[in-house]
Chains A and B, each alone.
Chain A
Amino acid sequence: MDKIIPLTSELLVSLVSFAVLFVVMWKFALPPITKMLDERADKIKDSLEKAEETRVEAERLLNEYKEQLAEARLESSRVIEQGRKVAETMKDEIVAKANEERESILARAREEIQGEKRVALAELQASVADLSVAVAGRIIGSTLSASDHAALIEKYVAEVGSLNEN
């Protein structure tokens, strides 16, 4: 029986020790710890909520982008198609224009050639007339009077002119 009666000093020491420990824990040690626990709980809750929001937002954006992408695809094929048409039209135009130009260059060249030919023929006529008179003079051994010359030339020119008309 004596054994189960505690020592008074042990009772007092343990009560005082507990009281001191309690004050230390209550006033100094626990407030920062419980504050941190609460803060973390709040933070985690916030993070989860934010994550959910972000997920919803991301999904919304994804759908939006998908739509935009589909639209862009459609638009781009439309643009390409249009581009192709424009290019084809331009090609046709360029080809037509080139043909036209070619024709006009050819026509101009032809005209120029005709002109040159005409000038050359005229020059040739003159030379041939002179030459013919000189040759004829030598063959017949006499010189013609100036009036004979003129008559002969006119006759010859008339002949050459009729030749030229062919």
Chain B
Amino acid sequence: MSTFAELLLNGISMGSVYALIALGFVVIFRATEVVNFAHASLLLAGGYVTATLHEDIGFWPALLVGIAGAAVVGAAVDLLVMRRYRGSDHSVLAIVTIGVDILLTTELTRRIGTDVLALGDPWGDAVLTLGPISLAHTRIAAFVAAGLLITVFLLAFRYTSWGVAMRAAAESAETAALMGVRLGRVSLGAWAVAGGLAAVAALFLTVFPTPGLERATSLAALKAFPAAILGGLDSTTGALVGGLLVGVTESLATGYQSELTFLGRGLGDLAPYLVMTVILLIRPAGLFGTKELARV
């Protein structure tokens, strides 16, 4: 039972990190209707900046610079690349983001090489023991930080003018333009926010028990993709639920792998995609994705 509780808590913690990444997907999708395949490289960029700076300026400043850096990279992608294709078909734009991802990831992996970079986080490998359950401090920090950021984000999305502009643009870009919404700003903001969230996620994907930032970190980020899709690509609630679902599934599948040996190894990596497939078979728009709500 205690194993189960441990796995569950770890899963929730990882899930909240996936939710951060998935939220980035959703924000960009809602603002621009583009599926952003370059998200993993934004994450890698944020992590890389933090990793290279933390020894010189300390962890917290480095993290802030990393967040800002990823936000700037995101904004730059929108400004320098996506804007030139504005008006093109959304699937064309999605393919453009694949190109951006390849470029960014290639450059970053060249810089990282075969190293495993530490991000210099203050939690180290400390473990909190509560009765039979032990939990790494990093996992608690991940949950708290992700929860906090997501709350702030959702409140802003719901109540600020930025949020109203974003939702209006998501529903109909042309009508939003008629209201005086600056669409360029909306999409720039979305890319920057997504980048910033990804940088925070990068931190928690690379802390203990993971060895550190390496080339493969961007692969871990891809697990947030099924999270965003199974939640419904245009739903912020969906991103949260999807993230948690993927985190818990992955954690449980990995934890109980020894009892599921007939399925072979590596079930933990596969499980999120299985869940996604099953959910999409039942609900093609995802758990919270929009089905047309309209009175005719």
Chain A complexes with chain B: no
Q: Which residues of B contact A (CB under 8 A)?
A: none
